């Protein structure tokens, strides 16, 4: 019984869960039992250095709303060799909510007259940090509906900054960490699915209208279940937190926001024919057809001009290319654009236009007799040799 042995160490309490709870709920349980006024979270695969804790505690003592992390050095997985990390790094991320270390900008470095001064960071790695216990509880601890591992560092980082606190990396504190090549344990729902669920909960609660860029960068998150977040939404309201726009403007202005100018506009061709929309009598919405490509600017602008957006929509004004169902042979039609609708998301893959959710390709099928045949747009299993699935998106 490891708890029997660990419990003999001075000041050590060992808790064993009755069932698998994962990192996030286990940390909450440990924090609830801890009696001290300041909490220190550390991964098990860490080795601390001399006087590592004092600089962290000092910053929290001066301002209990600070959440502070050491510089994280590297312990080699195979040899346990200790390699010092740069102290000019801070935490960053992209729109898929993938954490990355990034160098301080030249302007930020120029302002650092004291190399021991704390570094403001938009996000912490999450495994090693110190926080005032009352502040941790006030902020809502962790999101206990997140599973196993992953994404919790984004949720707590956004929450700290947006709800009145700050995040810092303290160069005078250094802790070594074994960076593993893979998880030494299994995820019941799979690593990717668990990470998507956790980050999706974060995006839905904290990222406001900017969550569209998360879904654009991580299409697999579309339509995935993520549980009930009402309690976390109410927590945010109760704490009177800032908007995510405020966070981007004041904490992480270096994160580029995709702009309309990055959208591509042009024609979608199949040999000499172009995808066109036109109103038919009795039809509420325009219908799609393939017609000879026209060089007329008026016609192109109204019927053959399409916009391929950052979040994978193919749209014409407020209407988007959509599928009726996710089954092969399903008709492709125009319907009002909806944020996050997985029936409206497409990707250009070589000469194919692939529907992301179904993984089928945009195809044409001939309907009617030979005298009055027309081509209907559908999705079908992708075939590299099918001429009816070859498209050229002439975009600018």
Of the candidates 286, 279, 352, 290, the residue with the CA atom closest to the CA atom of residue 320: 286
CB-based burial label for 163 (10 Å; 0-12, 13-18, 19+): buried
Say what the pLDDT of residue 318 is: 79
What local confidence, expressed as pLDDT, does residue 299 receive?
44
pLDDT of residue 365: 87
Comma-separated ranges of CATH 3.90.550.10 domains in the chain: 19-250
pLDDT computed for residue 259 by the predictor: 66
What's this model's pTM, rounded to 2 decimal places? 0.67
Architecture of the domain whose range is 19-250: Alpha-Beta Complex (3.90)
Structure confidence at residue 261 (pLDDT) = 47
Looking at residue 54, its pLDDT comes to: 97
Q: Where does CATH 2.80.10.50 sit in the chain?
A: 262-395
Q: Which pLDDT value is given to residue 372?
A: 53
The answer for residues whose C-beta is within 8 angstroms of residue 5's C-beta and 6 or more apart is none
* Cα–chain center distance at 130: 25
Sign of CA dihedral 96, 223, 191, 195: positive
Whole-number pLDDT of residue 308? 86
DSSP assignments along 320-347, one per residue: EEEES-SSTTPBEEEEE--TT-GGG-EE
Do 30 and 129 form a contact (C-beta atoms < 8 A)? Answer: no
Looking at residue 374, its pLDDT comes to 74
pLDDT value, residue 330:
92
* Domain 262-395 falls under CATH 2.80.10.50: yes
d(CA 154, CA 124): 8
Q: pLDDT of the chain along its 396 residues, tens only?
A: 778 888 888 988 888 888 888 888 989 999 999 999 999 999 888 999 999 999 999 999 999 999 999 999 999 988 999 999 888 999 999 888 988 899 998 889 999 999 999 999 999 988 899 999 999 999 999 888 887 777 899 999 999 999 999 999 999 999 999 987 766 556 666 567 788 889 999 999 999 989 988 887 777 787 788 889 999 999 999 999 999 999 999 999 999 887 654 567 788 999 889 999 988 777 788 889 898 888 654 444 468 888 888 778 898 877 899 998 899 999 999 999 887 788 999 988 888 999 999 999 999 988 766 555 578 899 999 998 899 999 988 776
């Amino acid at each position: 019984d490891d708890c029997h042995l660990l419990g003999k160490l001075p000041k050590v309490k060992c808790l064993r869960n009755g069932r698998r709870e994962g990192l996030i709920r286990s940390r909450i349980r440990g924090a609830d039992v801890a009696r001290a006024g300041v909490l220190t979270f550390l991964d098990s695969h860490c080795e601390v250095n001399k006087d590592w804790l004092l600089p962290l505690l000092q910053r929290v003592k001066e301002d209990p709303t600070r959440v502070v992390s050491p510089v994280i050095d590297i312990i080699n997985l195979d040899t346990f060799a200790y390699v010092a990390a740069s102290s000019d790094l801070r935490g960053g991320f992209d729109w898929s909510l993938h954490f990355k270390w990034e160098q301080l900008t030249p302007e930020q470095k120029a302002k650092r007259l004291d190399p021991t001064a704390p570094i403001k960071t938009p996000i912490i790695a999450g495994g090693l940090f110190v926080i005032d216990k009352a502040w941790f509880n006030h902020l809502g601890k962790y999101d206990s509906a997140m599973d196993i591992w992953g994404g919790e560092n984004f949720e707590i980082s956004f929450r700290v900054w947006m709800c009145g606190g700050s995040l810092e990396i303290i160069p005078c504190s250094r802790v070594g960490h074994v960076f593993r090549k893979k998880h030494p344990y299994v995820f019941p729902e799979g690593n990717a699915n668990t990470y998507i669920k956790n980050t999706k909960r974060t995006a839905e609660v904290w990222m406001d209208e900017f969550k569209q860029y998360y879904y654009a960068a991580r299409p697999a998150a579309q339509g995935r279940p993520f549980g009930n977040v009402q309690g976390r939404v109410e927590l945010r309201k109760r704490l009177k937190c800032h908007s995510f726009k405020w966070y981007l403007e004041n904490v992480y202005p270096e994160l580029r926001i995709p702009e309309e100018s990055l959208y591509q506009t042009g024609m979608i061709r199949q040999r000499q024919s172009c995808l066109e929309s036109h109103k038919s009598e009795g039809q509420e919405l325009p219908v799609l057809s393939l017609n000879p490509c026209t060089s007329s600017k008026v016609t192109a602008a109204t019927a053959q001009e399409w916009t391929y957006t950052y979040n994978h929509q193919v749209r014409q004004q407020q209407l988007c290319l959509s599928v009726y169902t996710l089954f092969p042979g399903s008709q492709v039609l125009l319907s009002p654009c909806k944020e996050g609708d997985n029936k409206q998301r497409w990707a250009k893959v070589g000469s194919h236009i692939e529907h992301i959710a179904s993984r089928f390709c945009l195809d044409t099928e001939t309907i009617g007799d030979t005298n009055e045949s027309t081509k209907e747009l559908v999705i079908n299993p992708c075939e590299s040799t099918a001429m009816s699935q070859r498209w050229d998106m002439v975009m600018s």
